[in-house]
Chain A
Amino acid sequence: MSTPKRDKPWLMRTYSGHSSAKASNELYRTNLSKGQTGLSVAFDLPTQTGYDSDHPLARGEVGKVGVPIGNIGDMQALFDQIPLGQMNTSMTINATAAWLLALYVAVAERQGASPAQLQGTTQNDILKEYLSRGTYIFPPAPSVRLTTDIIAYTVKNIPKWNPTNICSYHLQEAGATPTQELAYALSTAIAVMDAVRDSGQIGADGFEQVVGRISFFVNAGIRFIEETCKLRAFGEMWDKLTQERYGAQSEEMRRFRYGVQVNSLGLTEAQPENNVQRIVLEMLGVSLSKRARARAIQLPAWNEALGLPRPWDQQWALRMQQVLAFETDLLEYGDIFDGSPVIAAKVKALVDGATAEMARVQEQGGMVQAIESGYVKRQLVTSHTERMRAIERGDLKIIGLNCYQETEQSPLTGGVDSGIMKVDPRAEREQIERLNAFRAQRNTAEVKAALATLAETARGGSNIMPASILCAHAGVTTGEWSQTLRDIFGEYRAPTGIDIPANDDARSARAVAIRTQVNQTGEEVGRPLRLLIGKPGLDGHSNGAEQIAVKGRDVGFEIVYEGIRLTPEQIAKAALEEGVHLIGLSVLSGSHIEMVDDVFNQLGKVGLKDVPVVIGGIIPESDAKLLKERGIAAVYTPKDIDMNGIMVDILNLIRKANELKPVAVV
């Protein structure tokens, strides 16, 4: 049998990093030896939000959801024995992207590689951080400036680098429809490219180069035919936009280049083995159509909704890609959809819808303004609310979650580790010790001088990268780099988007029945019932909190919700000042034990020992028990999709705290 000519497969990555630079380095080298062809670095939340490991806000988060990188020493350890001149490294980093890129360049220099050799990606898409991902620091204007500085710097000095990955991935994870994904990602691209053009750092003749370096990071959900069409629509729209708005002539430069992580929002805690089918089907959406095929794919693991994946879980996800690429005949054909009228019609519908929404964004002055006013976030929360209601009603079927729930005991979640990776709690302490040792051996005068240069650059208008690379070599820490810019740029809090009109479900019989009881109890306790929804710590997962807030409003509660990243002290203060009847915490990052301890401690300090506290998020069963022992009244996890039921529980917890008998709502 003759072997047919096959296309080259996409880059295969696994998004990973944990505990420490050293542990992550070992993991990366193992992954590479298993046939992975690129690296995708997950940073921990303190690194992403610009805090040193010993900052009070970092407590419980160091090394948890990613690797802590506090200085050049950590970065060197992360890439020990990995020659950066030959590697392709993707870094999911945004607010502190300039800093992490500076560290990367500095390490490469120390390894003897020149910047021109470096290949990889900095995510560097700050706008979607305000909408979904949550690791922003500064207000939009200075943030966009940092983004443009990275683009301008790399186009000139690291030409093979992808300086920004415009992300629609996170928008879908926050509830976006395919049309919204297209519209907001492309509107973001316009905001970024306009900013680069207006910054004057790149001349008109070099602009095509910028266009060619912009890449995307998209999502692919379970409706894989529609997703295929979405990717084709992306390609068409990008081609047109870059030609018409930015005058890019070369077809090569106008090509829509993207990487993917497939949908994780739809992966379930219930019957988690079914996630494997979902992941494989989702991968089809970004690979079937050659014309719209991904350049790089990373897949979540079957245990996505349970907690962090272990190396074996990640290996399984990598093997899915390898089977598709190497066993099937997918890569032997040209585009199998060209000429299909069904596909063409769907693509057109998506293009039309997205074009109309993009026009609405432009009418408001562009993406930055539409984010600042809360418009875009409200659109996302509205879509996500509709999705949640459809799941609750059973109209949107999710196998094992709202139908076919009966199941045999899963052998996958047995094991001593319950099927997830637990980060060693010693990681945080050890990282702080390393940080202190690093600080002790560096040249303080050199650090001070580098930071002064950085501050001067930030205040003035020149490119932030050279000063940042100087800081990297001088031994500046992540916290110092970020604080210097915080002092100059200020900090920002994004709109929560929950101020949306009540949808039809608020009029459903069940909602009305609950509302009647909520009002009744309000009368019994003397005043309307109030809930504080709090997100303690650096965790940016806001979907759950938003949905609980909107649902709470819809069943008649008064809701206080201030968005992500509150300190336990701020939560206790708000609970006191607002006179709330119950506090609901939402923690998905895994730091729930630390957060709950701190919140209880602060509540005790302000004299609010008797307000009931519930929590929701990614909380393993064994931890749920621990939390209840500490006084948490109820624990909710992703499998609890009956939001009305949650509301009734909350109502009854309030009744109990006020010495009233529970009510039943049918």
Chain B
Amino acid sequence: MSLALPEPDALAVAVSGRDRLALARALNLLDDRRPAARQCAAAFLDALPTDKLDTGGHLIGITGPPGAGKSSLTAALIQVWRRRGLKVAILAVDPSSPITGGALLGDRLRMHASGADREVFIRSLACRGEFGGLSAEVWPMSLAMLAAFDIVLVETVGVGQKEIDVSKMTDTTCFVAQPASGDSIQFLKAGIMEVPHVIVVNKEDIGMAARKTLSELKNTLRRQMDPEGWQVPALSASAALGSGIEKLADALDSHRQWLLGQGQFTARRQRCQAEWLVKHLREEFGRYGIGLLGGEEALFTALANSPRRSPIAEYDALRGRVMDAFQR
């Protein structure tokens, strides 16, 4: 191991060819905060095949309260996807200790059954500060993974139940509800929680409580609809028994098909990147910084119309503009 940086074009070729060591190095690079590394990372992302980033693969976010079974369901989904011949990459985000900054990355444990499968790649991330249950590296890393895998799934920390920022940075968001916990239903009803694309009540093996939560969710959903016109399915599953997992995989895929049918797929990916940029700016400079760039709405419009650029290069450019404005 040394501090030398990789050659970005060659790395992009190797990653697209699903070289596992190259992908690992690319993820390390995307995590690297040294200025030279950021430049290299930007060049790497720019060198990735655009078709895969625009329309390729399926980027899925899985969220829900801690302990609802996100990791367990992910493990079960991996098995189903593998049986369907799909190659799967996971980004699992765990909390960092607020006191020590260190972290225990434990989601892998639940996905252990895939431990020897070379077509499954799991990278854990510490959520290092606040990023709505994500980590700032999630978006660039998702892109690298999309270049090599059919399915890329992001598991969030699942901090507060309202925080489902992951829904803004993925094609499809799946919310895992914990039986007998009414909170998610309350948040949905009150419109505080962003409506996910798929809702699943896990742990149906425990019976009554799970059925009750499911029917309450269904009732709530009947009165809510995604503004884009997608009918949100509410499913029931058990990661423990492996039941309902095929259906869950089908529902996730239906949403992708629906996005494709709507001709919205590429636009959504572009929007994801814009969301990431704005969120990142807000983290670093607050509302004020965004104001210096003309406000959120203007920023989104500008980003929607700007030419393709790696998120890192784009961010650094925006950051430069904020700094300039500060200095003026």
Contact = CB atoms under 8 A, between A and B. Distances in A.
A578 interface: yes
B104 A562 contact: no
Given A606-B20, A610-B1, A515 B112 contact: no
Contacts of B103: 553, 558-559
A79 interface: no
Interface string B59-82: 000000001000000000000000
Contact of B31 (A498, A507, A579, A607): A579
A26 B126 CA distance: 55
A526 B100 contact: no
Interface string B293-324: 00000000000000000000000000000000
Contacts of A373: 67
B3 A576 contact: no
B100 A578 contact: no
A481 B122 CA distance: 33
Interface stretch (A14-22, A292-300, A320-328, A565-573): A565-573
B33 A527 contact: yes
B115 A554 contact: no
Which among A506, A507, A562 has the highest number of chain B CB atoms within 10 Å?
A562
Contact of A555 (B1, B102, B116, B126): B102
A553 B102 contact: yes
A487 interface: no
B147 to A, nearest CB: 16
Contacts of B3: 524-526, 658-659
B67 A499 contact: no
B262 interface: no
A498 B106 contact: yes
A576 B118 CA distance: 11
Interface stretch (B21-29, B221-229, B252-260, B277-285): B21-29
Contacts of A606: 20-21
B109 to A, nearest CB: 5
Name B's interface SS. Answer: mixed
Contacts of B102: 515, 518, 552-559
B175 interface: no
B99 interface: yes
Contacts of A496: 106, 109
Given A555-B102, A556-B102, A560-B108, A581 B123 contact: no
Nearest to B27: A579
Contacts of A552: 102
Given A499-B106, A558-B105, A569-B116, A506 B1 contact: no
B85 to A, nearest CB: 20
B108 A515 contact: no
Given A554-B100, A576-B24, A577-B123, A561 B106 contact: yes
Contacts of A576: 20-21, 24
A631 to B, nearest CB: 14
A601 B118 CA distance: 17
Contact of A502 (B37, B97, B122, B124): B97
A505 to B, nearest CB: 11
B99 A526 contact: no
A657 interface: yes
A279 interface: no
Contacts of A611: 1
B84 interface: no
B34 interface: yes
A579 B28 contact: yes
A506 B112 contact: no
A523 B34 CA distance: 8
A528 interface: yes
Given A559-B105, A577-B122, A506 B99 contact: yes
A432 B128 CA distance: 50
B32 A574 contact: no
Interface in B29-60: 31-34, 37
A549 interface: yes
A553 B106 CA distance: 12
Contacts of B101: 515, 519, 528, 556
A498 B108 CA distance: 14
A493 interface: yes
A529 to B, nearest CB: 9
Given A553-B97, A555-B100, A526 B106 contact: no
A567 B24 contact: no
Contact of A581 (B1, B115, B122): B1
B100 A515 contact: yes
Given A527-B32, A579-B123, A657 B1 contact: yes
A563 interface: yes
Contacts of B1: 581, 610-611, 657-658
B121 interface: yes
Interface string A524-556: 111110000000000000000000011011111
Contacts of B121: 577
B221 to A, nearest CB: 29
A502 B33 contact: no
B276 to A, nearest CB: 19
A578 B115 contact: no
B109 A526 contact: no
B327 interface: no
Contacts of B106: 496, 498-499, 561
A495 B28 CA distance: 28
B288 to A, nearest CB: 27
B306 to A, nearest CB: 28
Given A555-B102, A563-B109, A610-B2, 11 more contacts: A491-B113, A495-B109, A515-B102, A526-B32, A527-B33, A553-B100, A553-B103, A562-B112, A576-B24, A578-B124, A657-B1
Interface of B: 1-3, 20-21, 24-25, 27-28, 31-34, 37, 67, 96-97, 99-106, 108-110, 112-113, 115-116, 118, 121-124, 126, 128, 240
List the 4 closest A-B pairs by CB distance, nearest first. Answer: A526-B32, A553-B102, A570-B115, A527-B31
24 contacts: A493-B109, A495-B109, A498-B104, A515-B102, A518-B102, A519-B101, A524-B3, A525-B3, A526-B3, A526-B32, A528-B101, A552-B102, A553-B100, A553-B103, A554-B97, A554-B102, A556-B102, A559-B105, A562-B108, A563-B112, A573-B116, A576-B21, A578-B124, A579-B123
